[in-house]
Amino acid sequence: MPDFRTDALVVGAGAVGLACARALALRRQQVVVLEAADAIGQGVSSRNSEVLHAGIYYPTGSLKARLCVAGNALIREYLTGRGIALNPCGKLVVATSVDEVPKLEALHAQAKANDVPQVEWITGAQARVLEPALRAEAAMLCGTSAVFDSHGYMLGMRGDIEDAGGSIALRTPFERASRDPDGFVVQCGGAEPVSIGCRLLVLAAGLGAQAVASGVEGFPAALIPQRHLAKGSYFALQGKAPFARLIYPLPVHGSLGTHYRRDIGGVARFGPDIEWVEGEDYGVDPARKPQFVEAIRRFWPDVNEDALVPDYAGIRPKIHGPGEPQPDFSIQFEGSHGLGGLAALFGIESPGLTSSMAIGAYVADGLLGTKG
């Protein structure tokens, strides 16, 4: 017998777990969120670009494309309604040479196929009217791309969960789950180990997704995708921010490319780059600076490399290795793993933050049978 029961238990209090818990709580489920760390939003959700993506990059019809476009609109409305900081600055994706124009054209076609609103092709001259310091042969203006306060967003969702009668248990790691006739019994560790019975179980553990799924009794090992870690480092610019909009080069394999943003506090940052790693080390190697300078100079020739300082790093929870095709988000329900009441999420890398609120609705609807 578990120590107590709840309707739904969510593992992980990052943006995605909180959004799933909020969506379930708003659908009248009693929700408990388990978080191993001592605060919400300390995982991948605290080490990213805080960009609301438009949805231009992903294959049409994929979860990434659909949930990113939907999530962008949902989060934008949520932030505006709550007075949480949002800078609707828009973004320029640039072809920095004639050679890159066909790639930008393909991306523009992809954006159109994905029904991304407010996407406009502009010439290099038009781009320089918007951003005089920019080097661009041509550019795509994405009006719905934005920068926002992701921690304010997560705090807002925490408040919604608690207002709806749910709770968040910090310093409470998931250890394992077994089946019982009413659903699952989850064993939690920490200073006061407890067992919780639940009808619905959501695994949204970010970098811990594989470890958590392997602790669920009956979860088919063959359905747990291999974990790959791709680190992304950032450098900050000391001094005045050179552009008002987000500036992105063309994407490279596994990453959207080392881009520019002026964050919500006005600091100019460049990154993330991509480095395949074995462990979770968040140090930024100053020796990566020459590669940053080279990447930045392509779209901002005037960059002063002495003003660039190592900043922070994040790690992408990937489910593909270097050179392998980039898969969609993996969100598994009973139809794939056979365990009724379970949603297991893997590979929630970018645009996971943007998609989070739409992922929450998708998971809640999938578990409660209201859709899909």
Ligand X SMILES: Cc1cc2nc3c(=O)[nH]c(=O)nc-3n(C[C@H](O)[C@H](O)[C@H](O)COP(=O)(O)OP(=O)(O)OC[C@H]3O[C@@H](n4cnc5c(N)ncnc54)[C@H](O)[C@@H]3O)c2cc1C
Q: In the complex, which residues of this chain contact ligand X (CB under 6 A)?
A: 11-17, 34-37, 42-45, 47-51, 53, 173-174, 204-208, 212, 232, 272, 314-316, 348-354
Minimal CA–CA distance to 266: which of 140, 134, 85?
85
- Looking at beta carbons only, is 138 or 270 nearer to ligand X? 270
Provide the minimum distance between the beta carbon of 240 and ligand X in the complex, in angstroms, as a whole number.
Answer: 22
Nearer to ligand X, 16 or 343 (CB): 16
> How many angstroms separate the Cα of 308 from the Cα of each of 1, 169, 259?
57, 39, 14
**Residue spans of alpha helices (H) in 182-230:** 209-213
Q: How many CB atoms lie within 10 A of CB 26?
A: 17
Q: Which residue pairs, CB below 8 angstroms and at least 24 apart, start in 185-192?
A: 185/2, 186/2, 186/9, 186/11, 186/34, 188/34, 190/36
Alpha-carbon span 267 to 257, nearest angstrom: 19
Two structure tokens written together for 32: 């408990």
Tell me how far, at minimum, the Cβ of 345 lies from ligand X, in Å.
7
Q: How far is CA 56 from CA 60, 90, 164, 170, 329, in A?
A: 9, 13, 35, 36, 16
Count Cβ atoms below 10 Å from residue 345 Cβ, excluding itself: 26
CB-wise, 84 or 212, nearer to ligand X? 212
Closest distance between ligand X and the C-beta of residue 357, in Å? Answer: 11
Residue nearer to ligand X on the CB measure, 16 or 142: 16
Type of residue numbered 161: I
Phi-psi region of 281 (alpha: psi -120 to 50; beta: other; left: phi over 0): beta
Beta carbon of residue 51, minimum distance to ligand X (angstroms, whole number) = 3
Minimum distance of ligand X from residue 271's CB (angstroms)? 7
Q: Give the pairing type, strands 174-180 and 138-142.
A: unpaired
Tokens representing residue 86 in the block = 């949002």
| Closer residue to ligand X (CB): 108 or 231 | 231
Q: Between residues 138 and 313, which has the closer beta carbon with respect to ligand X? A: 313
Nearer CB in complex with ligand X: 140/147: 147
CB of 44 to ligand X, least distance (A): 3
Report how far residue 370's alpha carbon sits from residue 348's, in angstroms, rounded to the nearest whole number.
Answer: 23
Residue 303 CB, nearest approach to ligand X (Å): 21
